[in-house]
Structure 1
């Protein structure tokens, strides 16, 4: 390995966001290590990377400290994406969510500290805003968590802050807001709303919106998330580290308007999709009503300027699903 090449560990690298980060940073000539236990990630997301000499897959679990130590060996940067997502899953099984998201996170911090990692960038979550009614959401003003998942992601931020102050480990948390795009799994009980609805509509099945459809979200296209991870990794501004940022587009759309756009974009491939009926179901426990991020802090400190609006990203995502999963 050449000394001038950066070595990046991406935990959860076979998952939706992780695999996109693997693709991107390999394309930039970096060495990439992927740590994944394939609990929610998929081998097919990284299959095409296995022959790349700059790519290394470690099949392991962040709940195992030895796996974390092995994965962080000689690594410059960690992009920590591994977690058990989903509010409903955490409500059904808070213990395993805590085990992965808190104990696993602490293992990764310990391993990164002990192996001299330069910077630890981690996937935080907009769920940390909890019951706060304030819009747009600003990093220094949060409410009480509404789910076990939200608690675990807030605890991550607290641990990262302590490791920065106590051990000098550089950390940056990125509070992801409803990320969507290529490689996002449309299947399973805990599938995210956009890929799930896209797949249902492609099959002419009626999607079910929880509630009246007036809840709104700051949906964020994957390429914006790649951008903010790269900026967080590369910033030389010492005042920009050891803190958290909203990782979002900075605009919101209701679920009703979202599904109209999905139908519109899919209808370009199959006009009959426009006629599929939308069904409304009960509200979901633990859901917040509205989510909208202020991205001023990331804009000011990291020079973050998201390039993909929701509409532009959705059009790309719908096209990807149609071409790859039809």
Structure 2
């Protein structure tokens, strides 16, 4: 992708900053981020001549102005936490749904070519029909998951009503460099790595036999760009298509770090799902394939990054 005008909401966050770094040299990038969870330091070159950073909240931003002359939008800004959404469902809806509808209206007004939306496997809820296909009924169990499912439906309706092109990417468990280990709601891999690097017990919620489908952030970046280039309108799972128990994940992280610490088992968290595994065949619609055999090398790269920041 070259010589495009691109808007990235949440572009200072974990995934958004990786997308910005990848596209910055060959395209004009505008980032809108209120920095509630993102950090300018996530960007390799925040002073790049092709980059404009707007430190604002989508809910109060003049999006009609910011979407002028934009070719593509990568929409990642969100309250991206199940526990936080359970604590603050109204705020979750305002941030994730209302702001998205506002962005879609502006995209239509300014003839944006396509929007790529960051959704979540959380929309499947406790659906046990593994591996999960995009055609499965949505069974969200948290306000966060409901908000993502709602946004997907708004995207579909804006495509059918106004002709706005879109792809919604349902991320499974994303990991990689730049994940915030200091967040109260940090994901499991950075929690494990940071705890063990600091000589502390890592926490496992529940019995650890819950399974997840992990996907590297570099593959998520490729998925976003592939979706943007494709003419596919619809939903796509972004995952490895392989399942891993949390207990096994802990053993891999522990062995990678050479630690002998045992985990600290805590009660299950409200809203968390037990099992998650993606059917990844629909990635063919955006010309994407993910190699799950790279997991341990990707995990090692993630560990090495955390060693440089802790």
Q: TM-score, normalised by structure 2?
A: 0.96
The SS at the match of 1:151 is helix
SS in 2 for 1:294: coil
Quote the offset at 1:207 in angstroms. 0.8
CA drift of 1:65 comes to 4.9
Query: In the aligned structure 2, how far is the partner of 1:35 from the partner of 1:175?
Result: 22
Aligned counterpart, 1:164: 159
Cα displacement (A) at 1:131: 2.2
The equivalent residue for 1:260 is: 251
Confirm or deny that 1:17 pairs with 2:8: no
Quick check: 1:39 aligned with 2:39?
no
2:269: which partner in 1? 284
**Residues 102 and 52 of structure 1, relative CA distance in 2, 3 Å threshold:** same
Distance 2:291 2:42 in 1: 24
Which structure 1 residue ranges, 5 or more long, are not aligned?
268-273
Q: For residues 78-114 of structure 1, give each alpha carbon's deviation from its aligned partner in whole angstroms, at most 9, with x where no partner exists.
A: 0000000111100011111111000011111011111
Greater Cα offset, 254-263 or 307-316 = 307-316
Alignment of 1:1-326 (within 5 A): 5-27=3-25, 29-46=26-43, 48-66=44-62, 68-235=63-230, 237=231, 240-241=232-233, 243-267=234-258, 274-299=259-284, 301-307=285-291, 309-322=294-307, 324-326=308-310
Question: SS of the residue aligned with 1:49?
Answer: coil
TM-score, length basis structure 1 = 0.92
CA contact (8 A) 1:128 1:142 kept: no
Aligned residues: 308
Q: State the match for 1:271 in structure 2.
A: none
Shift of 1:30: 1.2
1:65 and 1:107 in contact (8 A); partners too: no
**Cα shift readout 1:138-169 (whole Å, capped 9, x = no counterpart):** 00103421000000000000100000000000
Taking the aligned partners of 2:14 and 2:276, their CA distance within structure 1 comes to: 21
Maintained 8 Å contact 1:35/1:58: yes
